[in-house]
Amino acid sequence: MKKRKTQSTKQRAIRVAIVYFSPSGSTKKVAEAYRKSLAGAGATVQMLPLERSKAIFEDHDGAAFWAQLEPCDLLLVGGPIYIKHMQYHLTDMLYDAPFTNQSTGSHAAVFSTFGKVSAGVGLAEAARILSRKGYAIISGLDVDAVHSATRLLREPVSQGLPGKELDAWIKTSVDSMLETIGKRKKGSLDLILSKRYEDYPELKDEKTVLANYPVVAFDETKCTACGRCVKACPTLDLSLVDSVPNHREESQCIHCTNCLVVCPADAVILPLEKRSEFVLGKLKKQRLGPLGPSRSQLYLLG
């Protein structure tokens, strides 16, 4: 008679899919920290970055992006905060995410990166979409990171962040998530995170604000057609036409400032003085300086 199979310490590893959008690298740093911690705890991890995705930025086909998703027990989603919102390419793509089923499980977690000024409603926005897909939100993490639009200032906002402090935040989040899944705890942070909207009664629409930003232009007399700006564009918006960088006909520029940062010839025309003054003014009102301790914050279930 065959012995009946019983559960042992050698249970199937928890499967995690990390979906993230990292235009300037900070969100990727957090995603990689999650991957390392989860893998160290015995989980199997699939990484699905959005930046430079042809399915998203050329074909505008969210379903094609999600077709890459492997069976998972936990869906972990992260992106940067733009104008107090989770960056809209990520939230738009989440509407095409699969509903919970036997392949995806029923747990999800969210994280964001923000440049000290405000984490806004990013976690709440991502959590709200995922909860409507049937996921229970079991962790939320806002990570203070260098403000992308201030990277060329003498003192970039949140310079050096995230740093070593990220390790403790990630470990606490991972330990809590694995315990919640392992013990099949019920509940969701969705309603708690949704209270964020109450703090921003006059929240502006991100796409509308971005549409009023100055168009990124290029000085043909300085441009060497090296193509670094094209390779650094996270939304595949740029291409070289007659040896000069050009936007798509319907531009997908998100003002990440990557092209400005990587250009070796100072050929990118993007005045940031007013935006830098705005960011520094916001910090001053909060009695904060560009540098200082991390303002990261973690939300856990239970």
**Mean pLDDT of the region 223-231:** 97
Residue 257 lies in domain: 215-270
236, burial (CB in 10 Å: exposed 0-12, middle 13-18, buried 19+): middle
Domain co-membership, 51 together with 167:
yes
- Per-residue pLDDT tens for 94-140? 999 999 998 888 999 999 999 999 999 999 999 999 999 999 999 99
Question: Do residues 244 and 108 share a domain?
Answer: no
Q: Same structural domain for residues 120 and 237?
A: no
Q: Which pLDDT score, from 0 to 100, does residue 211 have?
A: 86
Q: Residue 116: which CATH number?
A: 3.40.50.360
pLDDT digits (tens, 9 = 90+) for 14-34: 999 999 999 999 999 999 999
Whether residue 126 sits in one domain with residue 153: yes
Q: Do the domain assignments include residue 144? A: yes
| 40 part of a folded domain | yes
Give the count of domains, the chain.
Answer: 2
- The Cα–Cα gap between 81 and 122 comes to 6
At 170-179, the pLDDT tens digits run 999 999 999 9
Give the span between the Cα atoms of 248 and 240, in whole angstroms.
11
**Which of 23, 22, 40 has the alpha carbon at shortest distance from 31?**
22
pLDDT at residue 227 greater than cutoff 80:
yes
Do 198 and 187 contact (CB within 8 A), yes or no?
A: no
How much is the pLDDT for 210? 87
- Report the share of the chain in percent with pLDDT over 90: 87
In a domain, 277, yes or no: no
For 59-71, the pLDDT digits (tens) are: 999 999 999 999 9
Are the C-beta atoms of 48 and 17 separated by less than 8 Å?
yes
Strands (E), the chain: 15-20, 44-49, 74-82, 85-86, 107-114, 136-144, 217-218, 238-241, 244-247, 268-269, 297-300
CA separation for the pair 130, 3 (Å, rounded)? 41
Q: Are residues 126 and 225 in the same domain?
A: no
Residue 164, domain member (yes or no): yes
In a domain, 163, yes or no: yes
224 and 160, same structural domain? Answer: no
- CATH number of 244's domain: 3.30.70.20
Nearest to 122 by CA among 130, 148, 211: 130
Cα(193)–Cα(122) distance, integer angstroms: 9
Average pLDDT, the chain: 93
**DSSP 8-state class, residue 164:** T
Same domain, 44 and 189: yes
Is residue 137 in a domain? yes
How many Cα atoms are found within 13 Å in the side-chain-facing hemisphere of 77? Answer: 31
**Residue 118 sits in the same domain as residue 234:** no
How far, in Å, CA of 97 to CA of 162, rounded? 28
| 125 and 197 both lie in a single domain | yes
Tokens for 185, please give them: 């705890």
pLDDT band for 11, please (50, 70, 90 cuts): low
180 DSSP 8-state letter: H
Q: In terms of domains, do 174 and 110 share one?
A: yes
Residues 113 and 226 in one domain: no
Question: Please, what sign has the CA dihedral across residues 191, 192, 197, 198?
Answer: positive
Hey, is 192 helix, strand or coil? helix
SS3 of the chain: helix, strand, coil, percent, to 5: 35, 20, 45
Position 100 in a domain? yes
pLDDT score recorded for residue 70 = 97
Pairing of strands 244-247, 238-241: antiparallel
Least confident of 64-68, 75-79, 213-217, 275-279: 275-279
Average pLDDT over residues 194-198: 95
Whether residue 192 is found in the same domain as residue 220: no
Decide if 278 is inside a domain: no
